[in-house]
Structure formats: C-alpha cells, structure tokens
Structure 1
Amino acid sequence: MITLLGLAFLSLVAANPVIIDRSPVTLPVALKLNATGVKNIVERDVARAKALYAMGKGNRLQKRHDFHTKIENQMFYYLAEVGIGNPPTTYQLIVDTASSNTWIGNGRSYVITPTSRPTGSEVGVSYGSAQFIGNQVLDQLILAPGKVIANQSIGVATDSVGISASDGILGLGPVGLTLGTLFPAVDETIPTVVDNLFTQGTIDAHQVSVTFSPSNQISNVNGEITWGGINRDKIAGPVGFTPLTTASPSNAFWGFDQTIRYGTSTPILSQTAGIVDASTTLILISSDAFTRYRNATGAVLDFNTGLLRITPAQFANLQSMFFTINGVTYEFTANAQIWPRALNEVIGGLPSFIYLITASIGAPTGQGLDFVNGFVFVQRFYTVLDTAGQVGFAETRDTRSTVN
C-alpha cells in the first residue's frame, strides 16, 4: 500500500467557473523544516526567484558540461511518497508548484520492472535550489491505492545537486515549463502528472489544490493536496478566481496580477504580475515595494537572518497587509506577517526577536515577476491551480490563526 508521508511544496475566467467538489485523489501533507539547510532564507528565496525568472524566459535546461554549480539547500521540504513500477518501489519526492518535470534517483535508485519503458532521451532541469540531468523513462506512478498513472514521463537522474532528504521532485507546475528540458526533442513538452491524471480519467477537473496550516514545529502533518478539484471542508468562504497573467515571465508559472497595501491606506505594490509558489518560503516583493513596507512598519534589517525585525511594541501596532487579486481582497494579518517565534533559532535568529516574513525580490517593479506569494501565503489561503487559465484563493480556518 502506498501512503503519503509528506509534500514539498503553486485567458479570461468564465463567468461561473466550475468547482469540482468530488476529488478522487486527496492526500495529507507534511511539512518538514530542513534544519541543516541555508540559514539565510532571504538569500535562498531570492536565488530561487532569479532561477524562476530565468526558467520563465526559457532557460530551463541544465547542460551536462555546466553541471557543477553548488546550490544551497532549501529551508522547507514537502515530501510525497509515491510508488513507481510494478511491483512498485516507493520514492519520497519534493512537490514543487513552480516546476513541472517529475524525476527520481537523487536518493533511492530507480528500480527497473516490467512496466519500465526507456525512451532513449535525456532530460534535465536547473532550479534555484536544485538541478538534475538524467535519462527519461515511461513508467506507472502510484499516488494512492488504486490511483495509478500509466506511462508517466519520469527522469532518472544520473547527476543531481541541491536536494537532500528526498529522492527527487514531483512537478505541479504548468506543462509549458517542461519545454526545452528534453534531449533531443527540445521543442516538445512532457505531459505532467496532473495532465495524465486528467487525460486518463482519474480526476474530473484539470486542476490541483494545495492547503497548509501555520506551524511552529520543525515537522508537522499540516495540510493536504487535492488532485482534480477542491476540498470544501478546508475552505471558509468562496474561491476567488483570477485569470493567469499575460506578463512574461510570470505567465510561464501560476502567475497573476495583484496589488498590496499596508493598513487601510498605505500603497505597497501597485497592480503588477507575479506568482504563487509554495516552495518559496517568504513573501517576496519588488525592491521599491519592500522599501515602502519597511518604512510603514518601522522595521530594521537583521543581518543574521536577512529578515526585517520589529520590536514587541511595533508588533502590537502592526497592521494587516491586504492583497487584492481580481477585485477580491485577502487580509494578511499581523500574526501572518511574522516568522514563527519558536523557530527563530533554526534560521539563525534570537528567541526573543520578532522577524517579518516579507523580503525584497532584489529588483524594482516592472520586471514581469514583481512578487512571489510563497509558502507563508499558502498557509493562510487555500490555493487552486487550474490549467483552464486561472488560479483561485479562498480563506480557511487558519487565515487568522495566531499560532506564530
């Protein structure tokens, strides 16, 4: 029996978007914090954002002769245990909402079974936190008992760096991100796991939903991923959908347009394009928006963590941030804006300090990827990734949690 151990892990909208309540594949999600990874999570997230920018512009392939770059480990892992082959071998894969290739071989080696079908092609991807190159095979992939994907494209790594405590990656991004990752057919896309679940009739809607709960523990089963629809038990209001943005390079990912303000009247970020990405830890915003946020909060930069720091008195007066997406406003409370204080020392901070989780993306507004709503945002808002050309968000019971 295949069980989920955890997850790594984000056109015009129809007048009445279809929400599928019944989803046949719903899996629990476990958060694991990589205590041995990079201490400065701002540096790690900014490095990932730069890599995503390059990927969105078409630089997705990692050439073998370039395969020497040292990549820092990411701060959080969301690991899914899947089965591959028949009889299946289990692999723990990081679930990534901003990449689309599925590959194994970083830890446990690929086991050839009668369902294995080598294609003779090579496949490779460079990420902000990892990279791999290897051989493509087609094989069955089991997500849950009775939920089998036939002939799923899987990369079998011959070289990989930047990944620890996992066997590879399970990609949940749009299929277009696979373009240029296959040798020699660099002009072909590779059907993703979500694509094959839908085309093979396992799920009713071509979408995947992700939800987490805020946590102040290093390891915690705190959410779930739902393939093919939403779980209404996890939301506390309607799902607000927005069209995918047309701005490059955000349009290569789960990208959309939004504005951000602080409190009732302080503009932070004007209407611009960015993405949701559960494998980015923080909220990243353009450098000019970050300056406005820092000035509004009165925070100072903490050089040990790279994060902004505020005093207890400033936290008592900290106002909500408001994200407006396609006319719907989502309130990001004061508590949502701070790093869990029980985990301060994990990121190199002091137990008594209060750190904010909004950081600069490292470039001014107008680059086509001006924000990343990272894991800390997905913790507060149910997130629906829909290949029909839209993303959706909804409040949950944890939207106003004070667990931090």
Structure 2
Amino acid sequence: MLLVAALAPLVVLATTVVADPNAIPNSPISISLPITKQINLTGTFHPSQRDQNRWMNLLTGGQASTSEITEVPLTYSIIAYSANIGVGDPPTYYSLTVDTGSANTWVGANKPYSKTKTSVKTDDFLNVPYGTASVNGTEYEETVTIAPGVAIRQSIGVASNSFGIYPFDGILGIGPKYLTLDTLFPDNTSIIPTVTDNLYGQGKIEQNLVAVSFEPTASEPVIDGELTFGSTDSTKYTGDITYFPITKTLPSGRFWGVDASFIYGNAQGKKAPVTILDTTAGVIDTGTNQIGLGTDAYNRYVDATGAVYDENTGLLRITPAQYENLQSLFFGIGGRTYELNANAQIWPRTLGVPGGEKDSIYLVVFDLGSIISLDLGFIAGQPFLERYYSVFDTGNSRVGFATTPFTYADIN
C-alpha cells in the first residue's frame, strides 16, 4: 500500500517569526516547499531493523562490520517525506526523500537523469552508504530549481547504481555539509555545500536555515508537510521557537545533534516518574521512522510500559489495557520539556501493522543496540518531528523546536 498526497504548487513566501528572545530576526525572503508523506507497507516490515542499520552505517561511513548490520531486503517497507525538485534547464522534476541525516543531494534512482544545457560533469564519482540504501554514480554541477523562478547552481550526484530508495528518485540531503566529506572520489577531501547553503550563498534567502513541518497521519489520504528555507512559517507552529546549540559530543555533533534526557511519566501519573535516559548526546532526524534509545534506556522504557518485543514486527507490543495506562514520555533539553503523549508513542493504528496481532497496540521506541558503543544515546525521528515544529539553523549552529496544533492531539 503506497499512499501519496498530491503536491501543491511551490511558492515563494515572505514569512515572520514569532517574537522570542532567541528568535532569528525576520527574513524578507524565504522559500516554502511542500513535502508529501509516502507510506509503502507492501515490502518486508521491520522498521527497527531498518533504523538500526541506517544509523550504524551513517555513523561508520559504511564501514560497519557484517556482524553489526542485518541484511535488509530490497523490498523494505518505507515511511518517508519527499519533495519535488527540478534539475536542469528546462527542469526535470524528481521526487526526493528529505533527509537531515545526510547532506548529499542526488537523483536517478528510479527516474533517469536527463542532461540539459546546464549539465556539467565533474571528475568525481559519488559513493554514499545509508544502511538501508546506498548510491554510487557521477557528480555533476547543475541548475536546481526549488520553486518557480528560484534556481541555484548545485553539486549533485547522478546514480549509476542504487538500492533501497524506491519509490523515490533520490535524496535531498539537508544535514550539515560536513557529512559530505569522503563521499566523492578521487577528491575525497571536498565538502559539498547543501541546497540550503547554496540558497543562502547565492542570495536566494537571507538566513542559512531550513524549517521542517511534519504532521501525524490520522487517516488516508496522507497529510502534507512543508520545508521552509530561509525563515520560519508561523502558520505551522504555536507559541515561540526555542533554540538549542548543536552538541559538542561526537559523533552526534556531526549531525543535527543535541544534549537531551528522557523521563517517562509525571507527578500526576499513577506511578512515580522514571528516568529513562540522563542527559546524553543524540540526533534529530527526518529519515528515522521511530525513536531510538540506547539499550539500557530502552530496557528501562520497556520495564516502565510493560511492553514486550514482538518478533514478527520488530516493534514493542502492548495490550489495550496497558495502553490505557500509558503515560507521557518527556524529552528534556536545555531546561525545556517536550512531551510525547500516549498517542505520540504508538504506531499509527489507522495504517495497521503488517504481521501484527489484531488487538495489540505497537510502540515507536526501538533499541539502538550496538550503536550505543559509539556514544549515541538517542535518535528523535519522525514521531517527534510530527509533534514539534523544527528549525535546522546552519548559520547559528543550533536547532529549534516549537509546539504545533498536533503536539497534544489524540491522533493515531
């Protein structure tokens, strides 16, 4: 089952930022790009395995041992957000999955790349392993169209071989640009500016940032999200945006990483709050389907919720009675707390769980496993981003969060 919502036309907006002592000054120029949530549950369903493999490969540059990586079927189920990006002149539009965990932008996985008068082949070859996907090919200098009348020169990869990307045509990498180091050959010392960097550097936007709006899926059809380059869209969030510095702890600091803690339950709950994870470095990531915790923290979460591991799905399973007692999971960062209520912690019931039990409810917290040895405490993936508006601010080396109309919604 592949669900795809139609994209609205791309538009250039003038946006404002809610008054906040931490907020970036208003930008007169920003670009709003609709993104679509695509859900394909027809392949092999094991999202925890997918997310574990993704991060083991991202953290090791594809050098993880075979004992650390579980073989992933080519027909893996996928839940991802995509954007339509034009390449060339006249532009050919490609559906690219939006990824804050990588920084290379490339095309050609499903729709062939079409050379035009703006195509300039470089002397470099591209090779990027993603754990659940990979690409190798040739690097080009190209004209990339983000919105009508908004085009930039951008270094992009063109796939010769790729896997794990279907139904997408490639990846729009909006992670920190230093993640492109060692992805080109023979020039493996080059760092490739991202689309966000080039929009800013070429004068299309006045702030080097991108804001992300995801929304939880309540029912079919799928609800769209939005990327906003250069500023924030105040119609997508409530209250103020609070910003936090990128962690200095590696390897999280190479990504959109922050120092945060997790607590399960609150003083109003039936049980005393449980510290799941003391303040530890982790990563905010659009490409991760769930919320990952290091093994010790994961085990504390399992004990607190009473969940059991389901071999058929790779997810944690609870009964309807346990769901009624499921308390909130609190993400604490910089003195602020971001709540994930019971509905934000479960796999969307409207989508179903392939291979799951009819009367069971499944959670979206998974075990990072051996990744914990790499000093990575957590991954806050799509379930977190669907409840909180997020700003990835390259210019000030920080990330920001704000509540949305979906933060406390009883959706799922």
TM over 0.5: yes
Would the aligned equivalents of 1:38 and 1:44 in 2 still touch at CA under 8 Å? no
Q: 2:135 aligns with which of 128, 132, 136?
A: 132
Indicate yes or no: 2:97 matched with 1:97: no
Distance in 2 separating the partners of 1:352 and 1:216: 19
Q: Deviations over 1:195-217 (max 9, x none)?
A: 10000111111010111111044
Give the stretch that moved more between structures: 308-317 or 191-200: 308-317
Give the CA deviation at 1:366: 6.2
Question: Cα 1:365–1:135, aligned 2, differ >3 Å: closer, same or farther?
Answer: closer
Percent identity between the two aligned chains: 43
Match of 1:342 in 2: 350
Match of 1:181 in 2: 183
Give the stretch that moved more between structures: 32-41 or 362-371: 362-371
Indicate yes or no: 2:285 matched with 1:277: yes
Distance in 2 separating the partners of 1:18 and 1:385: 12
1:181-330 mapped onto 2 (5 Å cutoff): 181-217=183-219, 220-264=222-266, 265-330=273-338
Match of 1:370 in 2: 377
Question: Cα 1:20–1:363, aligned 2, differ >3 Å: closer, same or farther?
Answer: farther
Number of positions where the alignment pairs a residue of Structure 1 with one of Structure 2: 385
Would the aligned equivalents of 2:284 and 2:381 in 1 still touch at CA under 8 Å? yes
Distance in 1 separating the partners of 2:401 and 2:149: 29
Match of 1:10 in 2: none
Match of 1:42 in 2: 48
Give the CA deviation at 1:377: 0.6
Distance in 2 separating the partners of 1:160 and 1:365: 28
Distance in 1 separating the partners of 2:290 and 2:299: 16
Distance in 1 separating the partners of 2:72 and 2:329: 37
Distance in 1 separating the partners of 2:63 and 2:242: 32
Distance in 1 separating the partners of 2:397 and 2:75: 33
Give the stretch that moved more between structures: 69-78 or 270-279: 69-78
Alignment-mate amino acid for residue 284 of structure 1: G
Q: Deviations over 1:62-95 (max 9, x none)?
A: xxxxxx9966635213221111111111111111
Question: Cα 1:234–1:248, aligned 2, differ >3 Å: closer, same or farther?
Answer: same
Give the CA deviation at 1:374: 0.5
Distance in 2 separating the partners of 1:163 and 1:260: 32
Give the CA deviation at 1:52: 2.0
Give the stretch that moved more between structures: 184-193 or 46-55: 46-55
Distance in 1 separating the partners of 2:73 and 2:312: 22
Indicate yes or no: 2:366 matched with 1:359: yes
Distance in 2 separating the partners of 1:349 and 1:20: 48
Distance in 2 separating the partners of 1:223 and 1:311: 31
**Higher relative contact order at CA 8 Å, sep ≥6: structure 1 or structure 2?**
1
Alignment-mate amino acid for residue 398 of structure 2: Q
Q: Secondary structure at the match of 2:350?
A: helix
Question: Cα 1:59–1:146, aligned 2, differ >3 Å: closer, same or farther?
Answer: farther
Q: Deviations over 1:26-73 (max 9, x none)?
A: 122211111223301111111112112213xx969xxxxxxx996663
Would the aligned equivalents of 1:239 and 1:392 in 2 still touch at CA under 8 Å? yes
Would the aligned equivalents of 1:272 and 1:366 in 2 still touch at CA under 8 Å? no
Task: State the Cα RMSD in Å.
Answer: 2.3
Distance in 2 separating the partners of 1:168 and 1:366: 31
Match of 2:68 in 1: none
Match of 1:108 in 2: 111
Give the CA deviation at 1:359: 1.1
Match of 1:154 in 2: 156
Q: Which runs of 5 or more residues in structure 1 are unaligned?
A: 7-13, 61-67
Q: Deviations over 1:122-149 (max 9, x none)?
A: 1111112211111111110011111111
Q: 1:25 aligns with which of 16, 26, 31?
A: 31
Distance in 2 separating the partners of 1:372 and 1:113: 40
Distance in 2 separating the partners of 1:157 and 1:364: 29
Alignment-mate amino acid for residue 18 of structure 1: I
Q: Deviations over 1:377-398 (max 9, x none)?
A: 1000111111121011111010
Q: Secondary structure at the match of 1:101?
A: coil
TM-score in terms of structure 2 length: 0.88
Would the aligned equivalents of 1:91 and 1:108 in 2 still touch at CA under 8 Å? yes
Alignment-mate amino acid for residue 104 of structure 1: V
Would the aligned equivalents of 2:23 and 2:242 in 1 still touch at CA under 8 Å? no
Question: Cα 1:222–1:350, aligned 2, differ >3 Å: closer, same or farther?
Answer: farther
Q: Secondary structure at the match of 1:372?
A: strand
Question: Cα 1:71–1:276, aligned 2, differ >3 Å: closer, same or farther?
Answer: farther
Match of 1:53 in 2: 59
Distance in 2 separating the partners of 1:252 and 1:314: 38
Would the aligned equivalents of 2:46 and 2:77 in 1 still touch at CA under 8 Å? no
Q: 2:82 aligns with which of 49, 60, 79?
A: 79
Question: Cα 1:314–1:23, aligned 2, differ >3 Å: closer, same or farther?
Answer: farther
